[in-house]
Structure 1
């Protein structure tokens, strides 16, 4: 695919507009210099619509758009469980986790762990998250995003990665989280608009110009197997989506870890004006998650009829883009790049926040606010440079890099969920128990993988979670503690939610029930 000059012009206008908005929202009043609250938490000024949009923009990147479309091409609507189950997870996070985090007035997840346990737990998890964000997440988004752009434009992979890193830094390095969050609104609008139009054009093409309803009717009648949400054990794809585990098993653990305890996701909600605003933003993001399969999965299923002879499933989305008319192709390409940039900007800002606030500031407590902001900017730059240098050596040899990355992070996910759940809701949990769950997660995951390699990844995550939970409880009981001195006082936390959040939660639940009932 090559971009027409009109498509290229649309993309350039988008980039320039993005940079202009970032600098506009990042400007400071005369006489006021950015402090750590401004740079890392947007001055606690984010409204609900910016929080919701930014949550989705940080979550969706090129590898997910192209990868999930490819999965839709191969196994159908079942892959949408990753999106739809995330919607209900967001509601849980907003109802039960956010009140605790905001009550503690934290900047980072490691900071909460220090408040609840001790500095050992904080430092261990801070170093772990920094390593994962730089050497796993950032490298993945850069490498797989560059592969996507290379597929679409033919531009050299190295130049693609440099371009993505440079664009990300251009609009996020100066403004911090505020610039990231407010430009994410543009990113999400573009992502949804481009994705919906691609779905519309695909269904209309299948319906021979008779509209999307005719196209969807033909798609569902000719490919009924692509609309099975719960796969049976005889399905060749059961190992990736093992039946009911998507509803009651390991997917819950992965979602709770990602949406509830992941710094570069949860940081937006920590920057809210107040708890009610954060919860409205969470609810908005939940509704957007319900929409995402229409944008990224449905085109992949449609490609089975439109492009039945693809060499690789992941070519589905790029090849469909190639069918779009001039101008609209540029819009959809801009949407794809938008998804990559927002993820990069979010991750670098979170790396800077954790390093500065959890590792650097405790050792240099006498620094000025401006000094800490400068350190954060330097760390953002260094993190991206390191990711640029290491992306190809780390991921270039893998044919399915995204799957390897999921499996790697899945080794630690169960322990992280145990660490936070017990830390928040069981007052006796000790710091040693927290460390045992964290370290034990990797060891137990490796043992399960070696002893029972046939067990689906998602089921293994559930089994490791149960094991880590038992281990942490056992360590705590052996130590025979009273209530931990830093335990969360749940009586002091207001879990009541406003009527708009309650209505949103009910609607999300009812929509999910309807979706799974329809395509069970």
Structure 2
């Protein structure tokens, strides 16, 4: 980054800002060491002993997703693609979160699995289990690296810290509080981080809107510079039409709204792990449903700053000024001291939430799904608790390395979506068929998952990057890759199923929809039967509210 650009983005932080940042670090570490007292078994370390209330797991669920990659990446999307970015929330998150809570959590929680791959072990067998475990482990450390790189962008641009210093210092703090308190520490810190993040983003949005003349002034400026469709959700998305996103309504609805969205929210263990730590099935089902309501309104403080940055800095995305710099740029230009400290702390909290979610899911999957069953089985519980802590250190170190992979992408959200199309979509195909089709065989689970993963990679690296097919943008290519992975995964799974033998009916009892032990009809526990806690009411309310949010920005 040229020195002139670096100086323009550098915050003039003072003692008050550093004091706020230091106070936050002390509180985070304090929560970690306080949670340490509750860690007695591996279940306590990996799943908080399945003891947390729904409101805690619900806020942690949305905070785990609201990492630095979400803030920097979705703001970058807002600056690059405009209001089309709201699709990642209202159609690309809410329906899938509702589906997870109402339909899939009874299978996950009722089977008492410790991880998402462990469900595949019960449903299909060791081959699918090991393959999915490896996929989860790789994707977790890759995404953890994205969070590290996102933090480095902020620290280097705003505080002048070097890339290495930013990564190592932040990684050390995440490592410290996860090692101390396990998942409980991560979750309770995520609840704190959720409110710190909002305290940082709300002032940035308000001051930014005031700078550009409110929503009316922002819309007028963007319409003039980018065209009317830039400030609409569906304008210009007809098949054959062109738009900044490089996608039409069909690829948005199918690629993002169904395949990619459901693939991420229903199989991503970094999110599902929060629900699995809830105290009972009712609380587990309500976890993603509670999270859906704040998720609906997150675009107001994430996407809008990206739009503001597109007006404040017209050269964003050109030369050395990347779309990833949208939020740091606004912070450097708009926020006074004191508020700067809160903003920097908020971004740091976002990074820590995102990385902690992925590191805690990595240590759980690697320990319980790879090390314990295939490398060192039948050891004492204390041994696996120790392994979990060692794997946590390894995950953080690997994440430091993968941070530099993310640095090659000018829009880190595009990179994340690429990873989701590779790993999460094929997993979703295997899960959804396995949960609703009794006939699906163990061999189909393995080959369908493998074929879907390979197909997505072939589409992206050979067909898209190799220039065989023309797709206007990386995000458009990700939507297509997701659809390809979905179709190939289904086709291979169906074909292999009819050529191989399924599991006996008694071995899939409680693992497939319609079997009497699946937990779908379980009576709510005492205190959970009240009308406002009913999953169906919460779920449909969130979907209706999300659909209503589209109306002012339809076209």
Q: Quick check: TM above 0.5?
A: yes
Which residue of the other structure, out of 120, 136, 140, is the alignment partner of 1:133?
A: 140
What is residue 185 of structure 1 aligned with on the other side?
191
* Cα distance change of structure 1 residues 65 and 485 upon mapping to structure 2, 3 Å threshold: same
What is residue 382 of structure 1 aligned with on the other side?
394
d(CA) in 2 for partners of 1:169, 1:312: 30
Query: Structure 2: 5+ residue runs without aligned partners?
Result: 1-9
d(CA) in 2 for partners of 1:413, 1:345: 19
What is residue 317 of structure 1 aligned with on the other side?
327
Kept in 1: contact 2:363–2:391 (CA 8 A): yes
What is residue 492 of structure 1 aligned with on the other side?
517
d(CA) in 1 for partners of 2:123, 2:307: 46
Which residue of the other structure, out of 67, 84, 92, is the alignment partner of 2:99?
A: 92
Query: Could you say what secondary structure the match of 1:27 adopts?
Result: helix
d(CA) in 2 for partners of 1:143, 1:454: 30
What is residue 351 of structure 2 aligned with on the other side?
340
Which range moves more in the overlay, 349-358 or 183-192?
Answer: 349-358
d(CA) in 2 for partners of 1:18, 1:189: 13
What is residue 475 of structure 1 aligned with on the other side?
496
> Which residues of 2 match residues 222-261 of structure 1 at below 5 A?
222-224=221-223, 225=228, 226-230=230-234, 231-232=236-237, 233-239=240-246, 241-261=247-267
What is residue 369 of structure 2 aligned with on the other side?
358
Which range moves more in the overlay, 177-186 or 468-477?
Answer: 468-477
What is residue 518 of structure 1 aligned with on the other side?
552
* Cα distance change of structure 1 residues 148 and 448 upon mapping to structure 2, 3 Å threshold: same
The Cα shift of 1:171 comes to 1.4
**For 1:369-425, what per-residue CA distance to the aligned partner results, in whole angstroms no more than 9, with x for missing partners?**
222111100110011112224533x34444445534532441333321111011111
Which residue of the other structure, out of 447, 458, 462, is the alignment partner of 2:483?
A: 462
* Cα distance change of structure 1 residues 446 and 369 upon mapping to structure 2, 3 Å threshold: closer
Kept in 2: contact 1:99–1:493 (CA 8 A): yes
d(CA) in 2 for partners of 1:306, 1:396: 24
> Which residues of 2 match residues 185-334 of structure 1 at below 5 A?
185-207=191-213, 215-224=214-223, 225=228, 226-230=230-234, 231-232=236-237, 233-239=240-246, 241-310=247-316, 311-322=321-332, 323-334=334-345
d(CA) in 2 for partners of 1:396, 1:70: 14
Kept in 1: contact 2:72–2:150 (CA 8 A): no
d(CA) in 1 for partners of 2:495, 2:183: 40
Kept in 1: contact 2:444–2:497 (CA 8 A): yes
d(CA) in 2 for partners of 1:204, 1:402: 27
What is residue 411 of structure 1 aligned with on the other side?
422
Which residue of the other structure, out of 134, 145, 154, is the alignment partner of 1:148?
A: 154
Kept in 1: contact 2:193–2:349 (CA 8 A): yes
Which range moves more in the overlay, 442-451 or 18-27?
Answer: 442-451
Kept in 2: contact 1:430–1:484 (CA 8 A): no
* TM-score, scaled to structure 1: 0.91
* TM-score, scaled to structure 2: 0.86
* Cα distance change of structure 1 residues 242 and 96 upon mapping to structure 2, 3 Å threshold: same
**For 1:120-174, what per-residue CA distance to the aligned partner results, in whole angstroms no more than 9, with x for missing partners?**
111111122212222x112222123212321221100000100111010121111
1:503 and 2:537 correspond: yes
Kept in 2: contact 1:195–1:332 (CA 8 A): yes
> Which residues of 2 match residues 35-54 of structure 1 at below 5 A?
35-54=41-60
> Which residues of 2 match residues 12-51 of structure 1 at below 5 A?
12-28=22-38, 34-51=40-57
* Cα distance change of structure 1 residues 418 and 229 upon mapping to structure 2, 3 Å threshold: same
CA RMSD of aligned residues (A): 2.2
d(CA) in 1 for partners of 2:414, 2:177: 30
What is residue 117 of structure 1 aligned with on the other side?
124
* Cα distance change of structure 1 residues 447 and 11 upon mapping to structure 2, 3 Å threshold: closer
Kept in 1: contact 2:153–2:325 (CA 8 A): no
* Cα distance change of structure 1 residues 12 and 341 upon mapping to structure 2, 3 Å threshold: same
* Cα distance change of structure 1 residues 361 and 312 upon mapping to structure 2, 3 Å threshold: closer
d(CA) in 1 for partners of 2:211, 2:170: 33
Which range moves more in the overlay, 227-236 or 254-263?
Answer: 227-236
* Cα distance change of structure 1 residues 280 and 414 upon mapping to structure 2, 3 Å threshold: closer
What is residue 176 of structure 2 aligned with on the other side?
170
d(CA) in 2 for partners of 1:357, 1:197: 43
**For 1:311-347, what per-residue CA distance to the aligned partner results, in whole angstroms no more than 9, with x for missing partners?**
4333221121121111011101101000111122121
Query: Structure 1: 5+ residue runs without aligned partners?
Result: 208-214
d(CA) in 2 for partners of 1:221, 1:404: 31
d(CA) in 2 for partners of 1:4, 1:371: 47
**For 1:249-294, what per-residue CA distance to the aligned partner results, in whole angstroms no more than 9, with x for missing partners?**
4442212121111111100111111121122221221011111101
* Cα distance change of structure 1 residues 398 and 482 upon mapping to structure 2, 3 Å threshold: closer
What is residue 3 of structure 2 aligned with on the other side?
none
1:428 and 2:428 correspond: no
Paired residue total: 506
